Every structure is written in C-alpha cells, then in structure tokens.
Amino acid sequence: MSHHELTAEETVVENLGVRKIDSPLAGRMAAQKVERRFLSDDDRVLVNPLITGDNPISKISFERAGPRREIYFDPSKVKAAIVTCGGLCPGINSVVRAVVLELHYIYGVRNIVGARFGFQGFIPDYGHPFVDLDASFIAGTHGRGGSLLGISRGHQDPTRIVDTLEMMNINILFTIGGDGTMRGALAIKKELDNRGLKLAVVGIPKTIDNDIRFAQSTFGFATAVEAAAKVIHGAHNEAISAEGGIGLVKLMGRHSGFVAATATLAHPDVNFCLIPEADFDMEGEHGFLNALEKRIMERDHAVIVVAEGAGQKYFEDQHYGLDASGNIRLGDIGIFLKEKIEGHFAKQDIPIDLKYIDPSYTIRSLPANATDRIYCSFLGQQAAHAAMAGKTGIMVTMWHDQMVYVPMKLSARKRRQVDTRGRLWHAVLETTGQMTMINPGAG
C-alpha cells in the first residue's frame, strides 16, 4: 500500500470505550511541579507532509502517541501481559523493560506477566509457565541481547490464546514482533471482538530487516547496521591484504535490503551491493561475474555485500519448504555466490583469495546500541500510554520523527521495501559505482 492508496478512515485508531478515569500522570506532574502537555486524539502527524494543496492525501494523518488526560483502565485492576515473538533482534529486552517500568512506576499497575516463548506461552499444551514481570526480573536488562521471555515462530490458534487471556483476566496484551506477529495479534483481536471482550491489543513492531510498512524505522535496525559496517570493514581489510582479494558478506534481508544498503553507505568501501529489490544477472557481458572480473583486473580486490533474499530467481527450480512461520525457505545466496565466483575465476585462470562471512545470527543476538536503547524506551513508554487509554489493534512506531499510533491492519497488508528509484538506492549506486547488472533483453 502506498501513501496514495490510503484513506482517512483506514488511519482511525480504535478505542475500547469512553475514557473516564483521571490519569495518575496528572497528580504526579503536579506534585513534581512538572509541566507536560497531555495529547488528544485530534493531535495528528501527516502521512505525507510534502503533498500540499487540494490533493486528498495531504489531509491524511496518523494519531500522535502520548499520554491522555483521561484513561480507560483502572490501574489498580489492570492485568497486563507481554509476549515476544519471531526471531531475535537487538533491543527486545529494552522494550519489555520500558513497558514494565512505565506501567508500574508511572501508572501504578502491579500485575504484569510475561508469556514464555512467544504465542506458545498462551497454549497450555506447551507447559510454559508465565513469569511475573517486576523490578527484579527486568533488572539489568536494558540493552541486553537475546530475549529474557524467549521467542518462537509459528501459528497458534487464536481461540485458544483468547481462552487463556480470558481465564487469566488479562486486560492488556503487548505483542512485540514482526509482520507475522502483527497478523497474529489481529487474529487475536478479531476473536476478542467476537466474544465482546474489552481487552487492548497493542503491538510494537520488531524486525531487524526494517520492513514494517508505515514504520520509519524498527528497533534493532541501527544496531544491525552498525555491526554490519564493522564486518564490512573486516572484509575490506581481508580483501586489500591478498592478491585478488574478495570479501563477500551476507547480511539479513529476506525481502527488503535496508540493512545491506544502509551498511554499504556506513562503510563505503563496498563495490557491489546486491538486494532483493534490484535484479541482477550472473552471466553475460553485463552480468555480475563479468563486472566483478573487471573490478579485480583493475583494482585487484573487491568487497561484495549481499542481502539473504537477493538473487532468489536462481533457486526457482528448487524447493526448500516452509519455515515455522509459513515463510518460504530461501536458497542460500551467499554460498551460491561463493561457488559461482570461485568457479568463474578458476575457469579464467585468474587467482583470487575469497573470504566469505555470514554474521547474521551474531548480529541478531547483539546488545542494542545507544540509539536503539533510547528508541526502545520511547516505544515502550508510548505503548503503555496507548494501552492505558484503551486503544487497541494498533502498533506504536515513529513517523516523520514523531511517535504515532498506526492501525495494525495497515502494516499487515504489505511489506516495506527499498525503492530502487529512491534516494537510498541511488546513494548506494553512487557509493559503490556499480552499474545495472542486467543483460539487454534478459527477463
């Protein structure tokens, strides 16, 4: 979905009901003599501020995130649950910590639990006990890598999840995960609506690939780019230290090449950046192998960065099945490129020294850097504000440098990808100097 396909109705945030309880923040701020403006649902952030005039899209906006003067839930009666799903990503524990601290110390919520190992934690058959999320549990977790609550992939029956939520008298569910998690959260919300249950479902988007639609950036992305740039630096040092040195680095990015593209700009010694959104041929006069050969003959070294989802057309006749989340398993483009490069140069009798590096799982499990830790705190705080105000079916994210509430259904429809006609990709092309690697008439 592009900005031009949006309607104002699709950006409306759903509320569980009328807010009638005075927010405890008012009393806290008065006691501390702190001035802070409460926001209303009419505070908005334009979806595209560059469009002006009579164009209808110029008026479409997202609701700004922040505390409301009146809240929906009585903090003394609230029971909240937090679940982390999907793969690892730097910052997960920081988000959990921020939600817990905001609920506990700012709103006075004393009953917060964590589901273990993703949505499995709500299915009794797995036998995962819930954990009490108090100050002792989250102590020392800020920025820590991994997930203290555990993660898992795969579909779970929303009716059974709601059974557990209802049985445990949970009022608020925070879901931390990617597009699959958001779709799961929407299925849970649909079942809650069918039963007439007033339970807030608030999502915090988590994907290291940065491919969530209508999210300016997802937490963990900055850490991933920083770490990837260091790996690229090592690959470059390897390449320039050997005759015919080639550093080949495979990075995350199943369908979107944001990590590869941005890390290339962060360490501009990359000569070829291959992403899922930009097709390329291997063979032929204008193909990748010929371009790489010219680079080696001219400069005697090269650095290649490839996103894991690039070049999947070379695996179309092979079937790797589905992963636990129902995603098609990808062909390993890194190993494929390594073998193709070595075979090509051996045939040409050109000596090379190729070093292949795949740091993906190392990067995913890293502690969050300072930028991501700050962002995670913002996300957790704003998620708590949304939930206590009774907002549901939304995700909390950044848009044009403002925190906003975006209906989950918008993010679940389509994945965000690198625009090959946009500024980011053009900057990559200028930085690497690579040309379009498609043979005329191909495809």
Vertex 103: Cα angle to 97 and 109 (nearest 5):
130
179 tagged catalytic: no
Going from the C-alpha of 373 to that of each of 169, 227, 276, the distances in angstroms are 31, 15, 29
**Does residue 357 sit in helix, strand or coil?**
strand
**How many CB atoms neighbour CB 176 within 10 A?**
31
What ranges in 241-388 are assigned the alpha helix state H?
258-266, 288-299, 333-347, 360-364, 370-388
297/288 Cα distance (integer angstroms): 14
C-beta of residue 313 within 8 angstroms of C-beta of residue 274: no
Nearest to 19 by CA among 40, 42, 34, 36: 40
Contacts of 39 (CB under 8 A, 6+ apart): 64, 65, 66, 67, 68
129/250 Cα distance (integer angstroms): 37
195/176 Cα distance (integer angstroms): 24
| Token digits of residue 125 | 């058959």
Nearest to 97 by CA among 105, 89, 86, 85: 105
33/36 Cα distance (integer angstroms): 10
**Does residue 221 sit in helix, strand or coil?**
helix
| Token digits of residue 170 | 């949970």
**Does residue 97 sit in helix, strand or coil?**
helix
E strands within 85-192?
Answer: 112-114, 131-132, 172-177
| Residue in 209, 211, 269, 281 annotated catalytic | 209
Catalytic residues: 209
